[in-house]
Chain A
């Protein structure tokens, strides 16, 4: 395809009108800034920044609407995590039983090294239990490396609650309804 070169008129070839037009915009912004009509500079950190929805911040663990830990220690996030920031210690057979009776297990320890985390969101995407979410926190600070390794308790307290479909509760309800079947021995 051949694009034809536009023939500029005499007025356009003069360039000055365009130049002056540009200066007008600059002057308008200058005036607005001087008079305080537009404010571009944000006084961070005195003023907190608002991030758009869907922003990928630090990953935290969440509880369900009953206050139970949702994580079942399946370790898929540990597996998928590209910088290997997540470390989970599974409960073991005699270890920590789950908050919910039929979910059978939850992590004994769950650590995310926030210095390693790249906020990619793979953990949230892979989680089959909707137990880990990337929240809005982007500025994490600490005085030592150890402080930046968040443990289960800290992650749960930062994550808050996320109401979900509660599949384990439904399973339990369904099973309890069927208790009439004579399996009791």
Chain B
């Protein structure tokens, strides 16, 4: 047997987070409650900068409403929504703090210089804290400031929520309810700006709804590195525009739809498809490349409507690429494999699994080969490896190389290449065994081929070679040349229809959840693989994904000590 056994892979343990260096802390008061906050905190690039009032309030569990501030973007400070009233310790002429009669420090509230009775707020997102500072995020003055800012932001807003895709996840709606006032004192005609502007191939802009927070401009300039957007015209006629109509077309444009706090930027793909409040949100992963961006699947009534990125600072920050985000339509394709086929005729799982088990039990050692897919979950690959060990089978998976970029897209287009390597299905150089398998079939040594999720006719095992096999067992999601040749066809599931884990290119082990039910008779691969392994080895395995994962963690050295329940939403990094 040439493939390495599971126990031969290098032993490793999950990386424990390094002990943080001692942090210098300062004491401030938020709404009268004293807390200690770090003097410096990471900014959008992760560099330490003086802590801002907004960050301090967040640490004190006091949410400060904001539009232009985004933790992963440079600070602009233009929406004014995060205005808060604050005060600093009063200093005497001797530069010593002035004390109250009871001995406490006297606080000088920030006021207008020409009107000392009027509080003067500061934008919390860009004002650093200082020792002894007092912030009042829920004082009457702060509330008044918020009401006034919201009224001003709504002056030219069209309030066309019934036809706006953002309704339901719109910060303008939310803050208007929470912090706004019922009436506007603006009686003049609203300024009308262009609607449904074609900003790029995937983005539509409604200029009337825009509150000019410039999040999209900052994102595309500083994160995506494509300085395509800017503001044109003056005053009330301020308008977001691409440098040339339709020129906003980099691979990260749809992130601006996520960060747009209002309904100005909308996705052409999702536009008018479904209202967001109907969507069930499921934590999942993107499978389009080896990066493994964390996603949220929005689905309703067994239909996937959109993917959105989910924050994971160890993988994708809060972004994902457009190509990965739009790669979901095949899930609802009409030609999805839905039936169990035995020699082309419709059959049942019980019959098929029984017949396959019978054939595999009788198969001589080394007469079976397995071509797995690095698009399968780690659990499925682990079960296939178990099967291979029992049968003495040659295994491999198919490499899938493409183009990567500097931000998120990886050149490895398989989501679980490292999972295939760690479970022992594939070698470091993936696909090295495929010619051997082809030769084995031609020479008649290999009579049974098990293929999971790949079209082997495209990687050296052509239709003429497949014709020489006694038994071809194929599991796939969509029909291809190999599935048409299969003696046993087992319909599998897309990742949105099952649970499991992937190991990304950097060794991050992450789990994903099930959003919709499998189509037709299709079953998650790990379920029927579990049945097969049980029939062949005689050992009862685990019938749940949790148990299966925990069993795998015991058997695969790289996953030692891990448990399904302890993976969390953002996964753990494994060493290999």
Query: Per-residue 0/1 for B165-204: is the Cβ within 8 Å of any A Cβ (1 yes, 0 no)?
Result: 0010000000000000000000001111111100000001
Question: Which residue of chain B has its CB nearest to the CB of A170?
Answer: B189
B233 adjacent to A104 (CB under 8 Å):
no
For B195, the chain A residues whose CB sits under 8 A away are: 102, 104
B191 adjacent to A178 (CB under 8 Å):
yes
Q: B163 touches which one: A74, A174, A178 (CB < 8 A)?
A: A74
For B194, the chain A residues whose CB sits under 8 A away are: 183
> Assuming the A-B contacts A178-B192, A183-B193, are A74 and B272 also in contact, with contact meaning beta carbons closer than 8 angstroms in the complex?
no
Q: B271 touches which one: A93, A175, A183 (CB < 8 A)?
A: A93
Q: B272 touches which one: A93, A102, A128, A185 (CB < 8 A)?
A: A93
B330 on the A face (CB < 8 A): no
The distance in angstroms between the C-alpha atoms of A105 and B204, with both chains bound, is: 14
A183 adjacent to B239 (CB under 8 Å):
yes
For A174, the chain B residues whose CB sits under 8 A away are: 189-190, 192
B275 on the A face (CB < 8 A): yes
B162 on the A face (CB < 8 A): yes
A104 adjacent to B196 (CB under 8 Å):
yes
For B161, the chain A residues whose CB sits under 8 A away are: 74, 128
B272 adjacent to A90 (CB under 8 Å):
yes
B131 on the A face (CB < 8 A): no
B277 on the A face (CB < 8 A): yes
A74 adjacent to B196 (CB under 8 Å):
no
B193 adjacent to A105 (CB under 8 Å):
no
B278 on the A face (CB < 8 A): yes
Max chain A Cβ within 10 angstroms of own Cβ: one of B190, B192, B275, B277: B192
For B277, the chain A residues whose CB sits under 8 A away are: 79
Question: Which residue of chain A has its CB nearest to the CB of B301?
Answer: A87
Quote the shortest CB–CB distance from A183 to chain B (angstroms).
7
For B269, the chain A residues whose CB sits under 8 A away are: 93
For B268, the chain A residues whose CB sits under 8 A away are: 93
Query: Per-residue 0/1 for A119-158: is the Cβ within 8 Å of any B Cβ (1 yes, 0 no)?
Result: 0000000001100000000000000000000000000000
Query: Per-residue 0/1 for B517-554: is the Cβ within 8 Å of any A Cβ (1 yes, 0 no)?
Result: 00000000000000000000000000000000000000
B273 on the A face (CB < 8 A): yes
A73 adjacent to B272 (CB under 8 Å):
yes
For B162, the chain A residues whose CB sits under 8 A away are: 72, 74, 76, 128-129
For A178, the chain B residues whose CB sits under 8 A away are: 189, 191-192
For chain A, the count of residues having a C-beta within 8 Å of the partner chain is: 26
> Assuming the A-B contacts A92-B272, A128-B161, are A183 and B190 also in contact, with contact meaning beta carbons closer than 8 angstroms in the complex?
no
A169 on the B face (CB < 8 A): no
For chain B, the count of residues having a C-beta within 8 Å of the partner chain is: 28
For A102, the chain B residues whose CB sits under 8 A away are: 195
B237 on the A face (CB < 8 A): yes
B237 adjacent to A183 (CB under 8 Å):
yes
The distance in angstroms between the C-alpha atoms of A184 and B277, with both chains bound, is: 37
A181 on the B face (CB < 8 A): yes
For B167, the chain A residues whose CB sits under 8 A away are: 74
For A105, the chain B residues whose CB sits under 8 A away are: 163, 272
A171 adjacent to B272 (CB under 8 Å):
no
B274 on the A face (CB < 8 A): yes
The distance in angstroms between the C-alpha atoms of A95 and B269, with both chains bound, is: 12
Quote the shortest CB–CB distance from A27 to chain B (angstroms).
62
The distance in angstroms between the C-alpha atoms of A51 and B163, with both chains bound, is: 35
Question: Which residue of chain B has its CB nearest to the CB of A71?
Answer: B162
For A73, the chain B residues whose CB sits under 8 A away are: 272
> Assuming the A-B contacts A92-B273, A183-B193, are A103 and B163 also in contact, with contact meaning beta carbons closer than 8 angstroms in the complex?
yes
A72 adjacent to B163 (CB under 8 Å):
yes
For B278, the chain A residues whose CB sits under 8 A away are: 75, 78-79
Query: Per-residue 0/1 for B230-252: is the Cβ within 8 Å of any A Cβ (1 yes, 0 no)?
Result: 00010001010000010000000
Question: Which residue of chain A has its CB nearest to the CB of B189?
Answer: A174
Query: Per-residue 0/1 for B150-163: is the Cβ within 8 Å of any A Cβ (1 yes, 0 no)?
Result: 00000000101111
In B371-406, the 8 Å CB interface with A consists of none
The distance in angstroms between the C-alpha atoms of A91 and B277, with both chains bound, is: 17
Q: List 12 A-B contacts (CB under 8 A).
A: A72-B163, A90-B272, A90-B274, A91-B272, A92-B271, A93-B204, A95-B272, A104-B196, A104-B272, A128-B161, A175-B192, A183-B237
Instruction: Knowing that A79-B278, A90-B272, A174-B189 touch, tell me 17 more A-B residue pairs with CB under 8 angstroms.
Output: A72-B162, A74-B162, A74-B275, A76-B162, A79-B275, A79-B277, A90-B273, A91-B272, A92-B271, A93-B204, A93-B272, A103-B163, A128-B162, A129-B162, A174-B190, A177-B189, A183-B233
Q: A interface vs B, CB < 8 Å?
A: 72-76, 78-79, 90-93, 95, 102-105, 128-129, 171, 174-175, 177-178, 181, 183, 185
Closest 7 CB pairs of A and B: A175-B192, A74-B162, A93-B271, A75-B275, A128-B162, A104-B163, A72-B163
